[in-house]
Amino acid sequence: MVEMRKVVAIGLSRKNFSHRIDVTRFVISQSAIPLYPGITRDWYNIETKKAELKDSIEDFIKRADEFWVFGMLSEELQANVKLAKRLGKPVRYFELEPKLREIDENEIRFEEGFSRK
């Protein structure tokens, strides 16, 4: 019998969007299935579809087994973390630079102009 892989919703701020392919590859390398609506961003204009993208991210978090946050925390990502925690989903944090590595919640860095609320 084949073991089911966990499904991971990816949290990545707009400022770190350029890392989307590397982050997706990383999740796959961890034997998980990535859910990230931003990977389809190249196919539609994000500015005209912001509400749809927000709904997609929230839906992915609801369907996923875990929520993994990559890079600095933004206000939008903080809202996603709160949703994941409210739903009882494990949340893991990863630093992108200088090298991708898992970090503790107390090591999270925040985007400029934003702090933990």
Domains of the chain, CATH where assigned: 7-107 (3.40.50.450)
What is the chain's alpha carbon radius of gyration, rounded to the nearest angstrom? 14
- The stretch 21-33 carries a mean pLDDT of 94
Share of the chain above pLDDT 70, in %: 81
CA dist., res. 45 & res. 81, Å (int): 25
Q: Which range, of 6-10, 63-67, 72-76, averages the lowest pLDDT?
A: 72-76
pLDDT of residue 80: 93
- Mean pLDDT, rounded, of the chain: 86
Distance of CA 103 to the CA centre of its chain: 14
Query: 33-35 and 91-95 as β-strands: parallel, antiparallel, unpaired?
Result: unpaired
* Class of residue 70 by CB neighbours under 10 A (exposed 0-12, middle 13-18, buried 19+): buried
pLDDT at residue 42 is higher than 70 = no
Backbone angles phi, psi at 12, to 5 degrees: -145, 125
Handedness of CA 45, 46, 47, 52 (dihedral sign): positive
